[in-house]
Amino acid sequence: SLTRDRIKTQTPATQSTDKQSTDNQATDIVIWPEAAMPFLALRAPNVITRIAEMLPDNAYLITGLIRAEQAGAQPPERLKVFNSAVVFDTDGRPIYIYDKHHLVPFGEYLPFQDSLEAIGLEQLTRQRGGFSTGPAGGRRTILPGLGRTLFMICYEVIFPEYGSSQRVRPQLLINLTNDAWFGLSSGPYQHFHQSRVRAVEQGIPLLRAANNGVSGIVDARGRIRESAGINEVDVVMGSLPRPITPTIYSKFGDFFALLIFVMLVSALSIISCKFKTLTD
C-alpha cells in the first residue's frame, strides 16, 4: 500500500524571489513515497499522460521511482539504475530529479558487486548489478511553492551532516522512504523519530512520505502537525510550516558539540590534577 501526502502551501508575495509562483494562489504539492512507481516510469509515455490528467492546475507531484539510463560505452542492455525522487509539473513533465547518493550496502548494492553476483549472492532489492550512486550535490533545488528544498531518500535522513553541510540554508526537508523492510517492529517508529531530529537540528520543517511507515508533516521544532501510522492507506493534508531562526547546530554542525566535549575533558583533567595535589 502507498501512503500519500497532499500538502497545500501558501506562496506569499514577499517570498516570490525564492518561489516560482508569482501571486498568492495556493500551490498543491502531492508527495508519494520512495519507489512509489517501482518501474521505469520515465520511459513510459502513458504514465506521463496519466500524471498530467491527474494533477490540477498549479499542482506538482513529488514521487519516488526507479530510473535508468545508458551506462556509457556499455552494451545497450546494460543500464545504470537509480533510486530517484522526481518532481512532475502540472503537465506531467519531470522538472527535477534527485538520484539517491548514499545507498544501503547489501540492500541496494553489494560491495564487489560483480564478483559476489557471480557466486549467486544478491542484495535485498534483487536489482541485477545493484543501484547506481547519484551525485552528492544533487539533493538540493528550488521548487515552486516550496522554495529551497533538500531531498533525502530513505536512510539518508539519519545522517545529520546532509542538512548542515549546505552552504545556503534550505527552507524545507523532504524525506521519501520505504519502511516495509522493518515489518511490524520498532524500526519504522525509530526511523520517523530520527527524521524529526533532523528538523529540530536545522530549525526547518519536514515532509515525510513512507511506504509502510509513518508519514507526516513535522514543523521546525519537531512537532508533528499531521501524520499517518504504519500500514495505513491514508491521505495526510495540511499547510506547510515555516522555518525558524537558524539553530546553533545548523550554523556550526558537530563542531560546537566537539568544543563542549573538549572543554569538559579539559575541566575534568584540571579538577583531577588539583585533587591529586591536595591528597599528596
Q: Which residues are catalytic?
A: 34, 100, 154
Comparing C-alpha atoms, which of 260, 250, 256, 221 is closest to residue 160? 250
Distance CA 31, CA 176 (A): 8
| Residue 8 near residue 21, CB atoms below 8 Å | no
279 is written with which cell numbers? 591528597
Task: Name residue 132's amino acid.
Answer: S
Torsion of CA 164, 190, 34, 183, to 10 degrees: 160
Distance CA 246, CA 172 (A): 13
Residue 4 phi, psi dihedral angles, 5° rounding: -120, 135
